Amino acid sequence: MIERIKELQKAVESFSPKNIEEIEEFRLKFLSKKGLIPALFNEFRDVAAEEKKLVGVEINKLKQFTTDKLNELKSLLVVTENNTVDIDLSRPGDPIKLGSRHPLSVARNEIITIFTRLGFVVGDGPEIEDDDHNFGKLNFPADHPARDMQDTFFISSDLNVLLRTHTSSVQAHEMSEMKPPIRSLAPGRVYRNEAISARAHCLFHQIEGLYVDKNVSFADLKQTLDYFAKEMFGEHTQIRMRPSYFPFTEPSAEVDVSCTLCNGKGCNVCKGTGWLEILGCGMVDPNVFIAAGIDPEIYSGFAFGMGIERITMLKYGIKDLRLFFENDLRFLEQFTAAY
- DSSP collapsed to 3 states, the chain: CHHHHHHHHHHHHHCCCCCHHHHHHHHHHHCCCCCHHHHHHHHHCCCCHHHHHHHHHHHHHHHHHHHHHHHHHHHHHHHHHHHCCCCCCCCCCCCCCCCCCCHHHHHHHHHHHHHHCCCCEECCCCCEEEHHHHCHHHCCCCCCHHHCCCCCCECCCCCCEEECCCCHHHHHHHHHHCCCCEEEEEEEEEECCCCCCCCCCCEEEEEEEEEEECCCCHHHHHHHHHHHHHHHHCCCCCEEEEEEEECCEEEEEEEEEECCCCCCCCCCCCCCCCEEEEEEEEEECHHHHHHHCCCCCCCEEEEEEEEHHHHHHHHHCCCCHHHHHCCCHHHHCCCCCCC
| Mean pLDDT, range 61-74, rounded to an integer | 83
Whether 187 shows a pLDDT value over 60: the answer reads: yes
Q: What integer pLDDT is reported at residue 177 of this predicted model? A: 92
pLDDT category of residue 222 using cuts at 50, 70 and 90: very high
Burial-class residue 309 by CB neighbours within 10 Å (0-12, 13-18, 19+): buried
Instruction: Tell me the average pLDDT of the chain.
Output: 86
At 108-160, the pLDDT tens digits run: 999 999 999 999 999 999 999 999 999 999 999 888 887 776 689 999 888 89
This prediction's pTM: 0.68
Q: Angle at CA 77, nearest 5°, toward 74 and 83?
A: 140
| Mean pLDDT, range 312-324, rounded to an integer | 87
Residue partners of 24: CB distance under 8 A and separation at least 6:
none
Cα–Cα distances (Å) from 136 to 142, 162, 211, 260, 292, in that order, read 8, 13, 20, 38, 11
